[in-house]
Structure 1
Amino acid sequence: MLYSLIRPALFLLDPERAHGLAIAALKLLPLGKPAPDGGPLAIRVAGLSFPNPLGMAAGFDKNAEVPDALLGVGFGFAEVGSITPLPQAGNPKPRMFRLVEDRGVINRLGFNNEGADAALRRLTRRTGQSQGKPGIVGINIGANKDSADRIADYVAMTKVMAPLASYLAVNISSPNTPGLRALQDEAALTGLLDAVLAARGPSQVPVFLKVAPDLTPADIDAISRIAIDKGLAALIVSNTTISRPPLRSRYAGESGGLSGAPLRELAQQRLRDFRKASGGAIPLVGVGGIASAEDAWARIRAGASLVQIYSAMAFDGPDIARRIVGGLERLMKRDGFASIAEAVGSE
C-alpha cells in the first residue's frame, strides 16, 4: 500500500535515479531475517538448500550493496552483479527506459558497476561477520567491454569471487556489451567453461550459466549438451531480449534489452525448449516477465527449479517477494504437490 502511494512520484524520476533510491532505501530498512530453512517451499538445487525458489535476478544489486536486505524482504536467494574485473561506467545516458503501459523495461546499461575490488570488500565483510551471514548469495560475473581477452576476465573473476559465492553465474548473454553473446557459440562456450571450471580451485563452487532468449534450436541443443557434459550446476533462462513484440510505450523503439511483462511468453517458451533439449538433466532457473505467484508457478511447472524477478519489483514494490512466496505455497497445495521439487516440469 505504501509503495502504491509513492510510486507515482518515483515514476517521475529517471529510472536509474529511482533505482538508486531503491538501493538506498533497502540500506536503511531494519535488516529482516532470511527465510528459514526447511519450510514448505524449500528445494535443494546444485547442492544448495534454498528456503524458497524465488530469487532476485542479477542487475538489481550490481555492486553487492544489499544482498542481505533482499533476503530479509522474503527472497529465497539473491544474485548480485554483473561484476567485472575493472570498474566501468557503462553506456552513455539515457540508457534505461520504463515502458509503463507495457509493464516492461528497456535497458542498454552495459555492465555499469564499481568493479571487482569494491564488490570484494563488501562481500568479504558479509562473509566475515559472525562466521558469515546466512542465506544464499550468488555472484554474477562478466567481462569488461574493452577487454582484450574476455575469457581471462571470467577466469580472474572466478578466482576472486569463488570463495565468497554460494554459486557463480557466468553471464554471456547481455545484449549491451558488443560481441559478448558470441561466447554462446559452441567452440567459444566450451573454451570459456573449461577455463572457468578450472579456475575455481579448491572451492568447487557451483557454476550457473546465464543464456539469452534469442537463440536458435541448434543453439539450445548445443548449449544444453555442453552444460551437461561440463557438469554445470544450472542454466539461467533467460536474459533480456533484443526482439520486440508489439509494444504501446513511446520508448518502444529504444535499443537495448527488453525485460518485464513483454518478455514473459518468450522466456516461458525458452525454458520449455531448454527443458526438452536437456531432458531434465540439468536444473533450470526461470527468469523473464515473472510478476506474480501464477507466473512463477507456471515457470516451475514448465521445468524451472528456481525462479527470479527484477523488473516486476519496480512496478509492484519490495513486498512482491512475500506475495509471490505466499502465493506459491497456496498454489502448490491447491494442485496437490507435496514439494516444489515434485512440481518441477509437471505441466
Structure 2
Amino acid sequence: MNFHDLAARAMHLFDPEDAHGLAIKGLKAGLGPRNRINLPILATTVAGLELPNCIGLAAGFDKNAEVPDAMLAAGFGFVEAGTVTPLAQAGNPRPRLFRLTEDQAVINRMGFNNEGLEPFAARLSHRRRRGVVGANIGANKDAEDRVADYVAGLSHLWGLADYFTVNISSPNTPGLRALQTKAALEELLGRLAERRAALAPEGDVPVFLKVAPDLEEGEVEAIVETAVASGLDGIIVSNTTIARPDTLKSALASETGGLSGAPLTQKSTAVLGEFFQAAGGRIALLGAGGVSGGADAYAKIRAGAQAVQLYSALVYAGPGLVVRIAHDLAARLRADGFASVSEAVGAR
C-alpha cells in the first residue's frame, strides 16, 4: 500500500464529508498521486471519445470541477465532474454521507450540493484540456421546470466539457427519478436534442443518460428506445440504489439515501446486461456501481459495458486502486485471449 492509499485510510478518522473535503484540498494543492497506466489493451473509443484506458471516475467525487486533471494524473482514463445544477444549492442537511465499513459500502443523501454552473464553467475553461472530462448535469431541487435546468446546463457548458451526462437517477432530489418514465423522458431528451442541434455547429460532443438500477419491468426497453430515438450517445448503468440487501451488516444500513459500493455490484451488473440485450449495439453503455477490483470491471465489460466508472471503492482502497484494477483487468483480458477491451464487450 502506497502513501496515498495510507492517507486515504487515515481519512477514516474524520467525518466522511469532512474527509472528502480534505481530499479535494490535498488534490488542489498538488498532493495527489501520479500514475501512468501504459496498457494499450485497455485503450478504447466510446461514442467517439478516445480513452487511454476504460476506467473512469464517476460523478460525485468532484462535484465542482475542482480537480479533474489531478484525477486524470492519478491514472483514470476519463473523469466525470458534477453533478452540477444551474444555481448553487446547499443540498440536504448534514450528516448526509455514511461509511458502511463492514459492507465496503457508502450511503449518501447529499441532494446535489454544488456551487452552480458559473464557477464550474470557469474552472473547466481554465484547464489545459488534456484528457477526457465530462460534465454531469442535474436540476435544482426547487426548479419549476426541471427540463429547462438540464437544457441550461448543456448550453452553459457546451464547448467546455468533452461529454455530458444527464443525471435523472439520483434518489436524493424528490421526484427526480420520475423523469425516467417514458413520457417524461421523451420530453426531456426531446428538448435536449433540440438544444444540442442548435449548439452542434460549434462542435458536437456525446451526451449520455445516467439511470437508476431500481427499474420496473419494461422500463429498460422503454429507456433504450427513447434514448435511441432521441439521438443519445450512451447510457450509464447505474446510479445508487434505494434498495437495502439483507446481507448488509452495518448499523448505518437503515440510513436513507442511495447505497453504493460492493452491495451494488451484482444488481447493477445484472441491470447492465438487460440494457445490453435491449440495446442490441445501437447505443454505447458504460458500467458503474460497485466496481472495486479487476473482476468487477471485467464482469461489467462482459455484460456489455464499453467502459466502467467507480467512486465509492476509493473510500476504502485509496487512489492507487485505479492502477491495480487496470493491471488486473488487462491480465484477465489476456488470459481469455482478448487483444483489446472492446473485443470483450458483451462476451458474457
Q: Which amino acid aligns with 1:270?
A: V
Q: 2:174 maps to what in 1?
A: 178
Residue 66 of structure 1 deviates from its aligned partner by: 0.5
Residue 55 of structure 1 deviates from its aligned partner by: 0.2
Q: 1:142 maps to what in 2?
A: 138
Q: 2:161 maps to what in 1?
A: 165
Match status 1:213 vs 2:213 = yes
Does the residue aligned with 2:185 lie in a helix, a strand or coil?
A: helix
Q: Distance in 2 between matches of 1:4 and 1:144?
A: 35
Q: Distance in 2 between matches of 1:157 and 1:290?
A: 28
Alpha carbons of 1:322 and 1:4: their partners in 2 closer, same or farther (altered >3 Å)? Answer: closer
Residue 32 of structure 1 deviates from its aligned partner by: 7.1
Q: Which amino acid aligns with 1:283?
A: A
Q: Distance in 1 between matches of 2:21 and 2:31?
A: 18
Residue 105 of structure 1 deviates from its aligned partner by: 0.4
Match status 1:155 vs 2:151 = yes
Q: Which amino acid aligns with 2:277?
A: K
Match status 1:15 vs 2:16 = yes
Question: Which structure is richer in relative contact order (CA contacts within 8 A, separation 6 or more)?
Answer: 2
Residue 281 of structure 1 deviates from its aligned partner by: 1.9
- The one-character-per-residue Cα deviations of 1:130-160 (angstroms, maximum 9, x if unpaired) are xx33100010000000001101101111101
Residue 204 of structure 1 deviates from its aligned partner by: 2.2
State the aligned residue count.
Answer: 342
Alpha carbons of 1:4 and 1:306: their partners in 2 closer, same or farther (altered >3 Å)? Answer: closer
Q: 2:306 maps to what in 1?
A: 305
Q: 1:129 maps to what in 2?
A: none
The farther-off stretch of 308-317 and 318-327 is 318-327
Does the residue aligned with 2:59 lie in a helix, a strand or coil?
A: coil
Unpaired segments ≥5 residues, structure 1? 127-131
Does the residue aligned with 1:290 lie in a helix, a strand or coil?
A: coil
Q: Which amino acid aligns with 1:222?
A: A
The farther-off stretch of 38-47 and 83-92 is 38-47
- The one-character-per-residue Cα deviations of 1:215-256 (angstroms, maximum 9, x if unpaired) are 012111100111111221110000000001021101011000
The farther-off stretch of 222-231 and 135-144 is 222-231
Q: Which amino acid aligns with 2:175?
A: G
Residue 5 of structure 1 deviates from its aligned partner by: 3.9
| RMSD of aligned Cα (Å) | 1.6
Unpaired segments ≥5 residues, structure 2? none
Q: TM-score under structure 2 normalisation?
A: 0.95
Q: Distance in 1 between matches of 2:37 and 2:205?
A: 22
Residues 74 and 325 of structure 1 are in contact (CA less than 8 Å); yes or no, is this contact kept in structure 2?
A: no
Residues 37 and 49 of structure 1 are in contact (CA less than 8 Å); yes or no, is this contact kept in structure 2?
A: no
After TM superposition, list the pairs within 5 Å mapping 1:30-45 onto structure 2. 39-45=40-46
Q: Distance in 1 between matches of 2:33 and 2:41?
A: 20
Q: Distance in 2 between matches of 1:49 and 1:91?
A: 37
Q: 1:108 maps to what in 2?
A: 109
The farther-off stretch of 191-200 and 104-113 is 191-200
Identity level (%): 55
Q: TM-score under structure 1 normalisation?
A: 0.95
Alpha carbons of 1:73 and 1:9: their partners in 2 closer, same or farther (altered >3 Å)? Answer: closer
Q: Which amino acid aligns with 2:155?
A: K
